[in-house]
Amino acid sequence: MEGTELYEKMMEGSSEIGIRIKGLIEIRLKKSEKEFVVPDNIEEFDIRNYV
């Protein structure tokens, strides 16, 4: 996201806010996605695990 106009606008304001925004972006980009595993049994399937 660095180098985009939106990123530059967010960072040019308060330095404290810029640090927080940068931290949140890093946290979001580091999150790993849930691994998709098809259960062997239909009773083990829960749609909430995939939303």
Residue 42 is encoded by which pair of tokens? 């239909």
Given a contact cutoff of 8 angstroms between Cβ atoms, the answer to whether 49 and 34 are in contact is yes
- pLDDT tens digit string along 12-37? 777 788 788 888 888 888 876 767 77
> What is the total count of domains within the chain?
1
Q: Quick one: pLDDT band at residue 40, thresholds 50, 70, 90?
A: confident
* Residue type, position 46, single letter: D
Domain residue limits at 20? 5-40+42-50
Q: Cα(7)–Cα(50) distance, rounded to whole angstroms?
A: 31
- Closest alpha carbon to 7 in 26, 17, 22: 22
